[in-house]
Structure 1
Amino acid sequence: MLAPGGRTPVKNLFGKLADGTEIHSWSLENGGTRLKVLSYGGIVQSLEIPDRHGRHANVSLGFDTIEDYVAGSPYFGALIGRYGNRIGDGRFTLDGEACQVGVNDGVNSLHGGAEGFDSRVWDVEPFTAGSDVGLYLYRTSADGEMGYPGTLKVKVTYTLTEHGDWRIDYEATTDKVTVVNLTSHVYWNLAGESGGTIHDHELRIDASHFTPVDSGLIPTGELAEVAGTPFDFRRTKTVGEDIRVAHQQLLYAKGFDHNWVLDKGVTAEPVAVATLRDPSSGRAMTVSTTEPGMQFYSGNFLDATLVGTGGTVYRQGDGLCLETQHFPDSPNKPSFPSTVLRPGQVYRTTTVHSFEH
């Protein structure tokens, strides 16, 4: 439900956690884009955009109930932290001090550990600013949460602009030296979340290098050229064009699940780095970011055990993620852009999703 004209965010009860904590949904609309966000995990429960005929569809994979999200969501639509992606063995050293964080992906740490930001309840405050409408999401991560040092105060701003763009601004401060790498884990299918395979989607990524991984999907530290490999998306091609090539990196990940080293590097303002298009509907999305990397994940581990909001089963390749970020395992790779945050500094990154039809 949206307010008349869609200008004011509307709050509704979505469900309750086992301990009775109420989880709310916030519905926003602006510039033709409709967004529904949960206080649980900052989750994008749905994002609707029109096709070439003006027909709206939800293009974000997700669930209808809070119980499904709690039971075992593969991070559908969630805010990720403290550290997006993987840290090898969950170990790193900061200023000579050894740190051990939560391990939840074999021997490695993934997306902040078993109880990362994706499964926490956020404080949500709606706003309107000029022609924009949005939500402020807040939480404080205590010193030692999931093993991470420092009390981390986080503010994430979701904005829908008058043009229908979805902008995410991340901010964080700490009282001890720590590492931070926040991102969003929306699974996109521009044909609609029940639209089947994304292998026919057309993708371009402005990256001449990627970070190869070992069998545990931890970067080796190499920045490898994409030229002559299935990882070359510098020219637009379908997701499925090279996904079945017998390349060792694709075998490790059962498809694409790698960090692309964006040619632009770290920038003060968002720069367009990727475009995704669904030829069948005409829907297209451009991703702009200040971040130096982007994890492209082709939904390899969706295994027909989950039923989505449209009532259909999600199978392998039914959604893809474009997670703007610093690189995986950066705390253990001094040559990678640093993810260290110190007291007195402010962590700031921005990512914008612009839609066309």
Structure 2
Amino acid sequence: MFMTAPEIRVRCAPGPFPCSRAPVRAGPRLPVVVLGEKVWGAMTAVTREVFGRMPQEEGGGEVEKFTLRSGSVKVEILSLGCIIAALETRGRDGVFSDVVLGFDTLEGYTRKHPFFGAVVGRVANRIGKGRFTVHGQDYQLFLNNGPNSLHGGARGFDKVLWSPQVLPNGVCFFRLSPDGEEGYPGDLQVWVTYTLNGEELAINYQAQTSKTTPINLTNHAYFNLAGQGSRDIYDHEISIEADSYLPVDSTKIPTGEVAAVQGTGFDLRQPVELGKHLQKFGLDGFDHNFCLQQEQARHLAARARHPPTGRAMEVHTTQPGIQFYTGNNLDGSLKGKGAVVYPKHSAFCLETQNWPDAVNKPHFPNTLLHPGEEYNHTTWLVFSTA
């Protein structure tokens, strides 16, 4: 069959609007061939298979794995938590390696783990004391990170099953977060769409709400461009396109200050070799928000490069911030893929998002979504070999 329309719009059941406001471009008379469970289109193959079943105490639902494959990238995504379970990309030698931390089986993801590869929400990052006020009403969230609420609470978006819809070059996930879930107001409809085009993986987040609510969505993939299971990330080069960052208190809540990076260990505007940089500035690692452009247009946020293999990744986003985290809390206690352990500093996260605790800091970028509005942000991960 042939698709002659200049755009493909796919609607995710049971959602009320298309999976992506940014349409999937088809081009003139692009052939799309459906072969059983495989969909080919725009040089991307999409397959789906059963990955496992949730424990009975978690509802016992079926978890599917969706594999997106182009000529240069292969990514595996689960319907549990929209988790990126594997991401393979080429090195200078032409060999593919999996560059994200995770587990071989569903059991690993149903146990406690540090959000490997998952979409986190309703509000990613931390809300101080788990409290906020909207329209004069106070809300109290579950405290799961010391005195604060982290990544949506006790059972955030990372721990639930999403409804999938296959696209010609990706997959769209939908769920309804009901009013009061984890203490948040409003029925929130959420769509997360992954599309792969060549070397570029795009993640689009959309949401609509019935009541005013804070929202801040991101993906929490842990990367090691040397290949998951490699000992550390000290030989990686990192740069972040930010003139300022947010200092935090002892519980990782921003103090409210927006501090210049100039002359500090947080100045990553030029590439630094991570291990040497941490040593030079006496840093134990990063777990901080870096302040990006404030306009909602695609902009470069960060670059990561592993010189020994030549693997490189650029992060582009429409978000105003990026949380740079160097796996400080990994301690070797978790066995991941291939039964390898993940010690401290064995991966990094570049989480594009709004600023932490923005709901309690009026001078931070707005994080409230109102009825009749649409939350719509995209992050692009672009892989290359240098």
Q: Residue in 2 aligned with 1:87?
A: 127
- Distance in 2 (CA, whole Å) between partners of 1:7 and 1:284 is 21
User: What is the number of equivalent residue pairs in this alignment?
Assistant: 344
> Post-superposition, which runs of at least 4 consecutive aligned residues in structure 1 deviate over 4 A?
2-6
Supply the RMSD in Å over aligned alpha carbons: 1.4
- Distance in 1 (CA, whole Å) between partners of 2:206 and 2:281 is 41
Q: CA deviation at 1:4?
A: 9.1
Q: Residue in 2 aligned with 1:115?
A: 155
Q: Residue in 2 aligned with 1:166?
A: 201
Q: Indicate whether 1:242 and 2:271 are aligned.
A: no
CA contact (8 A) 2:313 2:382 kept: yes
**2:368 maps to amino acid:** V
CA contact (8 A) 2:265 2:281 kept: no
- Distance in 1 (CA, whole Å) between partners of 2:345 and 2:102 is 15
Change in 2 beyond 3 A, CA 1:95/1:245: farther
CA contact (8 A) 1:274 1:288 kept: yes
Q: Helix, strand or coil: the match of 1:310? A: helix
Q: Helix, strand or coil: the match of 2:76? A: strand
CA contact (8 A) 1:7 1:28 kept: yes
Q: Residue in 1 aligned with 2:294?
A: 265
- Distance in 1 (CA, whole Å) between partners of 2:44 and 2:368 is 38
Q: Residue in 2 aligned with 1:350?
A: 378
Q: Indicate whether 1:143 and 2:149 are aligned.
A: no
- Distance in 2 (CA, whole Å) between partners of 1:94 and 1:300 is 33
- Distance in 2 (CA, whole Å) between partners of 1:244 and 1:146 is 40
CA contact (8 A) 2:39 2:47 kept: no
Q: Indicate whether 1:283 and 2:320 are aligned.
A: no
Q: CA deviation at 1:15?
A: 1.3
- Distance in 2 (CA, whole Å) between partners of 1:187 and 1:294 is 14
CA contact (8 A) 2:359 2:367 kept: yes
- Distance in 1 (CA, whole Å) between partners of 2:373 and 2:263 is 41
CA contact (8 A) 1:193 1:310 kept: no
Q: Indicate whether 1:300 and 2:328 are aligned.
A: yes
TM-score, length-scaled by structure 2 = 0.87
Change in 2 beyond 3 A, CA 1:246/1:54: closer
**2:361 maps to amino acid:** K
What aligned pairs does 1:191-202 form with structure 2 within 5 A after superposition? Answer: 191-202=226-237
Q: Helix, strand or coil: the match of 1:350? A: strand
Q: Residue in 1 aligned with 2:166?
A: 126
Q: CA deviation at 1:246?
A: 6.2
TM-score, length-scaled by structure 1 = 0.94
- Distance in 1 (CA, whole Å) between partners of 2:231 and 2:166 is 34
**2:97 maps to amino acid:** A
Q: CA deviation at 1:10?
A: 1.4
Q: Helix, strand or coil: the match of 2:111? A: helix
Q: Residue in 1 aligned with 2:365?
A: 337
Q: Residue in 1 aligned with 2:48?
A: 11
Q: Indicate whether 1:56 and 2:96 are aligned.
A: yes
**1:153 maps to amino acid:** Q
CA contact (8 A) 1:47 1:60 kept: yes
Q: Helix, strand or coil: the match of 2:308? A: coil
**1:266 maps to amino acid:** E
- Distance in 1 (CA, whole Å) between partners of 2:39 and 2:129 is 51
- Structure of higher CA gyration radius: 2
Q: CA deviation at 1:164?
A: 2.1
Q: Residue in 2 aligned with 1:205?
A: 240
Q: CA deviation at 1:8?
A: 3.6
CA contact (8 A) 2:75 2:88 kept: yes
Q: Indicate whether 1:326 and 2:354 are aligned.
A: yes
- Distance in 1 (CA, whole Å) between partners of 2:110 and 2:347 is 20
**2:164 maps to amino acid:** V
- Tell me the alpha carbon deviations over residues 313-349 of structure 1, each in whole angstroms, 9 at most, x when there is no partner: 1000110000000000001100000100000000010
Q: Helix, strand or coil: the match of 1:306? A: coil
**2:295 maps to amino acid:** V
Q: CA deviation at 1:244?
A: 3.8
Q: Residue in 1 aligned with 2:30?
A: none
Q: Residue in 2 aligned with 1:100?
A: 140
Q: Indicate whether 1:220 and 2:249 are aligned.
A: no
- Distance in 2 (CA, whole Å) between partners of 1:4 and 1:102 is 41
Q: Residue in 2 aligned with 1:256?
A: 286
